[in-house]
Amino acid sequence: MDDVFCRPASRENLRAMVRGLLSDVPRKNMWQVAEAAGHASSDRLQDFLARAAWDADELRDRVREFVVDSLRAEDAVLIADETGDIKKGSKGAGVARQ
């Protein structure tokens, strides 16, 4: 996926985001993702998401291709549905059962 990003810093930030998202952190907000990736604050990753130049369509297509190749089977069906996930808390946006 590296060649989707022009700058080395963007490639490093992508890796940090993925490490944080795949970590065992129970809540995946930007602060926890950044800490799990070894950052002192979320500033660097927030800046990456807001300002980095990259081709979102190309990255999406590559991730999709990787997933399809990894899970390929004649009768396979993949459904990603988080609408029934029980949310934690009671005051934040989207915590009620969807």
For residues 94 and 96, what is the distance between their CA atoms, to the nearest angstrom? 6
Identify the CA nearest to 3 among candidates 46, 70, 44, 55.
55
Q: Going residue by residue through the chain (98 aa), what tens digit of pLDDT does each one get?
A: 778 888 888 889 989 988 888 888 888 889 999 999 889 999 999 998 888 888 889 989 998 898 888 888 888 887 877 666 666 666 666 666 55
Q: Are 83 and 72 in contact (CB under 8 A)?
A: no
Q: Which residue has the tokens 């990003």?
A: 5
Residue 47: predicted pLDDT: 92
Here the tokens at position 6 are 């022009």
pTM of the model: 0.64
Residue 46: predicted pLDDT: 92
